[in-house]
Structure 1
Amino acid sequence: MTPVELSRTVLCAVRSAVDAGELQVDVPVRVVVEPSRPGGRGDYATNVALRLARSAGRPAPQVAEVIRRRLTGTRGLARVDITGPGFLNLTLDRPERGARELIALILREGGAYGHGDAFAGRTTEQAVADEARAEAVGHAVVRLIAAQGGRSAVRRAAPGERAVIRPVPAPDGTADGDPQAVRWSLLHAAPHDTPRPWTAYAPLRAENPLFRVRYAHSRTHALRRNARDLGFAAEPGELPEARDGASGQTLVRLLAAYPRTLTAAATHQAPDRLARHLVDLADAYLRFQGEYRVLPSGDEKPSAAHRARLALAEAVGTVLAGGLTLLGIHAPEHL
């Protein structure tokens, strides 16, 4: 269940409670669902009960309980809890959708997969410190917010103003060099960590996480080209079980988590979350590719398994390309 679907699910629960006479309120146009704060419960939280409490003429926890009952048992939700003054905390059921359905969705939506509306109707401004890393993070946050339906802009904090985005500054020389490696260097580390020099991300070696992400993306395109030459195309289907940790299900879980990662990265102004997710996805895909043959060999005819594995590879490539683009980094088809 993506953030957009989750928002619609909560809204439908409110509407059904109103239709049943359990709540006497005007149904809101939309419900904002955001990733749970650190230390919170579940995957997402919404304050819709607090927003409706006054018009309902009831305490927010009572309103939340009405909505909770409507949400309980919903496919894709493992549990719904009420915390604090009336927040609804939502824990997703995993796997959130079947592999076939998820992969088909990714291939259908392409680069828009994972985008949501958590920031729809909101306009924000990112006041950043006068420093290269802060500006790089700020511009990445703007792209992430746009992917969540919002509008944002970057400006340098005025003298004496507290910057909203102020990560640990990059060491001297970090921001000088290959633009792709520099940008990854500035975005990959957590805000409280000092970024490594860009030279750590320039070599075309397995030790370089940026190389692994871009290499994995290029390999998915190579497989698509080779499959086309062999006369077959991707078709979502059943995937192999785990073998030495390189299972298709591992990739499906990472693909399913991508929308949550984008929403969290935008909400917490943390593009490093997206960068690390891309590394995890690329590493899992490279393990998978090393264990399973995506293309037939010799005189072997393409099978349903080959088509399903190719569909999985294309879905991985789609997400890697979309994530790199949001970070402002080129996703090469050849490497």
Structure 2
Amino acid sequence: MNRFSYARASDVSDALAQHRSAPHAAFVAGGTNLVDLIRVNVERPDCLIDITRLPLKSIDATPEGGLRIGALVTNSAAARERTIVERYPLLSKAILAGASAQIRNAATIGGNLLQRTRCAYFYDPGLPCNKREPGSGCPALEGVNRMHAILGASEHCIAVHPSDMCVALSALDASVHTDGPNGPRAIPFADFHRLPGERPEIDTNLAPGEIVTAVELPAAGFATHHAYLKIRERASYAFALVSVALAVELDGDAMRDVRCALGGVAHKPWRDFEAEAMLRGMPLSAAIVRRFAGALVRAAHGRRGNAFKIELVTRAVVRAFEIATQRDCRSE
């Protein structure tokens, strides 16, 4: 482990100022991902800036009827917050599907957003990894790739984003609020995380020294028709092979709005806005749901170890519609 200094920030301005004076610093709160990476010598910050005392721990209504969740709210607190459980149950269920109770008690909303997209090769400094050491190669391409991406990957990286919470936030059209050297801004959730392309070492579109301050949810919470379905190797504390966050608004038998985000399949939570648009105004039927599920994987590329995920996605999406709408979407 490399040596590093430690500092504590009193507010957001102080945290930003300290980061400007130590450009290779890292912000730390719960540390559930960062500390692990420091221990295995993957992350090597020269300073840790403790932000646990920043005033970012509230959950507040917005003037537009939505909800603003501070970046330092713990995952456990968010999942159990009455307003979230009642108005945004998709988010609550996704958070509770992730990690373990002990980790959720320490992990924060902001930290969950910023956890590294990663795989076992990334964690092993003795092996090449383009995400850890750009240009060194990606052994997962021909190696053990059961958990890896089938959508949006590149020849430089096929790791998948591990978060459950982020899949639900994607489906809910959340936005991420930040502050940094150029002032505060709001980033649409679809634009927050990046696909690997030729720069897999960059996971998000945050600017250097920028800090997440909150996540904002719009008014529409899809409390009536929703589903979070996570398919994994074991019942607890495992990353998803495939997950589906589905939100549906029905008008009689017609689908007025559909949001569907996938986890476990790409470098970021995956949405296909073109496929979703095809469903709006369409009747809810098994044939249309199956056609939509197939459209989601039309560009999928499976490898030796993970080609099964293509069929798994289609089945999981159909099952999610059944859970969300309480209708049989496999017949007809």
Between structure 1 and structure 2, the one with the greater Rg is 1
Q: Which has the higher helix share?
A: 1
TM superposition score normalised by structure 2: 0.28
Structure with greater strand percent: 2
TM-score, structure 1 normalization: 0.28
